[in-house]
Structure 1
Amino acid sequence: MLPPLQDYPENLRLLFDANNAEGANFRHNIRNYNSAFAFASFGANIRPPPGRGPYCFRLQGQTYHYASNLHVNDPEERRYGQLYIIETNKAIHNRVNAPENANCLVSVFQKINEALINNPYAAAYHNMRDIEQEQERAAIENVSPRQVTMHFIPGPDRRTYNNPSGNEIAAIFVGDDGAPPVHRDIIVYPIGQQRERIAYISCHLDPMVYPLLFPNVESGWHIQMAHVAQRQTRVRTKVTMQEFYSYRLAIRDGFSALHRAGKLLQQYIVDAYVKVERCRLNFIQNNQAQLRVALYSGLMDHLGRQNEHQEAGVPVILPSTFTGSPRNMQQAYQDAMAIVCKFGKPDIFLTYRPDLVARVYNMHLKELMIDIKDRHIFGVPVAHIYVIEFQKCGLPHCHLLVML
């Protein structure tokens, strides 16, 4: 169990509930507003499905999250954390005049800015700028200036009920010997250095990329996140990334900005799914010996012949437990053929595709299977096979075979 999210700022909550032009514009362009106030970028190959169906956030490939440097060569191109070290009016001007924000309202930008003005990440960028200015003044006094970098502190959230301060999430490092602190998560450079890519396991990732969902800077998942005593076992004591996001996405009583975020909620879910899959793939890649992939009958010989004319590399074998992997698909196919060989051809071919969201559809599908298996609406079944597919617009449907 995670600590509950803190009370959502009232002026932001009004934008979710308002039935006026500001509220409608905020909800329709919520991804643009979130990106304008984010401290880190969200990069992906976004490929919306064709057609005129409901909005569906779809991407291909990996996602990338970067923390920007403190400065940029062209002041008009300031983005992300760079906007938090300049005057408020100038920052709003930059956000409004960005081409991607052409449909956004100045008044909405002002209200969001008021809600996020005390954000500790903004305070951290301010602290870095203040120390940088001290070094600039020292240079005027003929004192050799030293490089200033900001290092975000990794690890668990050190607070429970209070907002963290800028000093609690980041440390400013001043030095010209290039020796950073031992414990660091993200580095922000003044200018000229390559942007720092944020690791998908960083606890800073969610509050930096989604400031409108987590304005109180609730920590994201991290590898040291422990289960509560009631959930711990001898083998498992830590919360997995999938468990963390499942808990965050669970529907509870009361106001939830996450579930009211519309298009931004879809982006958050897809981003979380990609991170969970990346975490699983990383585990498989680093534990090939424990998974005993070398013992798969005939597989390594086949790969050896297949790779004779390919570039050198280290093959990674996905086990059948990884959904969608070749071995998983082959295993499912062989199981289906074995069932047909034993019980004969199917008597019923049923396609079930209600126009519902996936969560409600899953509940209806479970009820349908109870009708077939327990209530015997078609007769007494001896076996069944089904597969769930997703249409181009993201809606699920089921193909079901029943043997009576």
Structure 2
Amino acid sequence: MPSASQVAAVVVGGDDITNLKERDVMVESVTGRLMSIKETAGYYDPLQYPLLFPYGSYGWDLNTRSINGKKITCREFYSYMFQMRECYDSIVLRAGRLTQQFAVDNCVKMQASNLRWVALNQDTIRADLYKGLEDSYNTGEHNTELYFHHQSVGSPRNMNQRYQDTMALVHKFGKPDIFLTMTCNLSWSEIVAELLPGYQPHDRPDLLTRVFHARIEELKKDVLERNVLGKVVAYVYVIEFQKRGLPHVHMLLILDQSDKLATPDDYDKIVRAEIPDQQQESELHKRILKHMIHNPCGVQNPHSPCMKQGSCKKGFPK
């Protein structure tokens, strides 16, 4: 079972736009009549989350616009709501599991908004295939399935394009030299400093992802601009969310020919298989012991996070 408090959503028919079901949210009017409301209505948020919007604040709808008349997307609206401000104490960021539910709910709303755009703009995104469609129609193939834009994340066309782009990099620059992984650490000072008393990191998924994104940008500067691992001529990475909902990044680096790892000494400069010397590298030694060594558990430390039903779930001590 999960060790952290998480909220997930199941989207019925989400793999097919034509079968995507609308929200089954019913409200009772003052006259006692039941009525269904859509998630694209501005009064969906205050009706669904009265604790977060006690004054009935109007939410996002399809016609929401900024002061200068520019249309605001679903993502832009809720990104604004989840922002942290020094002089404003947001109820949305203080609700614990309800904050998680609100974030997941609106994430699904954003995905539905993107799918709705795809369904209503088939002529636009099929423009580069009109000739092929005409030929198929003339040969008797009347396939009317919806076609996804190449920027629709998770769609077959998007996945295929990303794969082809990656293979093109390997074809031109050669095989990757370094497989680099960075995980989100709940003890990062930026996260700990913003948590309210009694709050856990999983109560603020927005904070975790925002800090992780900032750390990734700094990592990219170290690797791509400062060349701490050598000159990088090409790279590709993917961000995943696994185990307690924490993000981590897998990055493949292709180094310049002059910086490629060719000898055991080259690998020893960037790879360690032993604990660093405490006298020569005290800071690295301290971090390795803190983040990469299994701390005492069992009888010595029965409150260790790895303990489950009186024993270590990792099987320590070995």
Band of TM-score, shorter chain: 0.5 to 0.7
Unmatched runs of 5 consecutive residues or more in structure 2: 13-21, 187-207, 256-318
Per the TM alignment, residue 272 of structure 1 is displaced from its structure 2 partner at its CA by 0.7
Amino acid at match of 2:110: V
| Cα shift readout 1:212-240 (whole Å, capped 9, x = no counterpart) | 100011101122322222xx5xxxx2111
| Cα shift readout 1:296-331 (whole Å, capped 9, x = no counterpart) | 6757888999x98xxx98411111111111100000
Per the TM alignment, residue 259 of structure 1 is displaced from its structure 2 partner at its CA by 0.4
C-alpha RMSD of matched pairs (Å): 2.7
The aligned residue for residue 335 of structure 1 is: 165
| Residue 275 (1) aligns with residue 105 (2) | no
Unmatched runs of 5 consecutive residues or more in structure 1: 1-50, 71-124, 129-187, 190-194
Amino acid at match of 1:209: Q
Per the TM alignment, residue 374 of structure 1 is displaced from its structure 2 partner at its CA by 1.0
Question: In the aligned structure 2, how far is the partner of 1:240 from the partner of 1:351?
Answer: 33
The aligned residue for residue 241 of structure 1 is: 74
| Cα shift readout 1:196-218 (whole Å, capped 9, x = no counterpart) | 32112101100001001000111
Relative to structure 1, is the Cα distance of residues 297 and 398 closer, same or farther in structure 2, using a 3 angstrom cutoff? farther
TM-score between the two structures when normalised by the length of structure 1: 0.51
Count, aligned residues: 224
Per the TM alignment, residue 399 of structure 1 is displaced from its structure 2 partner at its CA by 1.0
User: Secondary structure at 1:58's aligned position in 2?
Assistant: coil
| Residue 372 (1) aligns with residue 223 (2) | yes
The aligned residue for residue 389 of structure 1 is: 240
Which of 295, 303, 319 in structure 1 is aligned with 2:149? 319
Relative to structure 1, is the Cα distance of residues 327 and 304 closer, same or farther in structure 2, using a 3 angstrom cutoff? farther
Which of 93, 99, 108 in structure 2 is aligned with 1:265? 99
| Cα shift readout 1:235-270 (whole Å, capped 9, x = no counterpart) | xx2111111111111111232111011100011011
Q: How does 1:191-230 map to 2 (within 5 A)?
A: 195-229=34-68
User: Secondary structure at 2:47's aligned position in 1?
Assistant: helix
Whose relative contact order is higher, 1 or 2, with alpha carbons under 8 Å and at least 6 apart?
Answer: 1
Question: In the aligned structure 1, how far is the partner of 2:36 from the partner of 2:138?
Answer: 35
Per the TM alignment, residue 285 of structure 1 is displaced from its structure 2 partner at its CA by 0.4
Q: How does 1:3-402 map to 2 (within 5 A)?
A: 51-62=1-12, 64-69=23-28, 125=30, 128=31, 189=33, 195-229=34-68, 237-253=70-86, 254-292=88-126, 295=129, 314-356=144-186, 357-402=208-253
Amino acid at match of 2:74: M
Question: In the aligned structure 2, how far is the partner of 1:372 from the partner of 1:201?
Answer: 42
Per the TM alignment, residue 355 of structure 1 is displaced from its structure 2 partner at its CA by 2.9
Amino-acid identity (%): 39
8 Å CA contact retained: 2:233, 2:254: yes
Question: In the aligned structure 2, how far is the partner of 1:227 from the partner of 1:207?
Answer: 20
Amino acid at match of 1:372: V
Question: In the aligned structure 2, how far is the partner of 1:364 from the partner of 1:351?
Answer: 12
TM-score between the two structures when normalised by the length of structure 2: 0.64
Relative to structure 1, is the Cα distance of residues 286 and 402 closer, same or farther in structure 2, using a 3 angstrom cutoff? same
Amino acid at match of 1:264: L
8 Å CA contact retained: 1:386, 1:399: yes
Question: In the aligned structure 1, how far is the partner of 2:176 from the partner of 2:240?
Answer: 20
Question: In the aligned structure 2, how far is the partner of 1:302 from the partner of 1:396?
Answer: 43
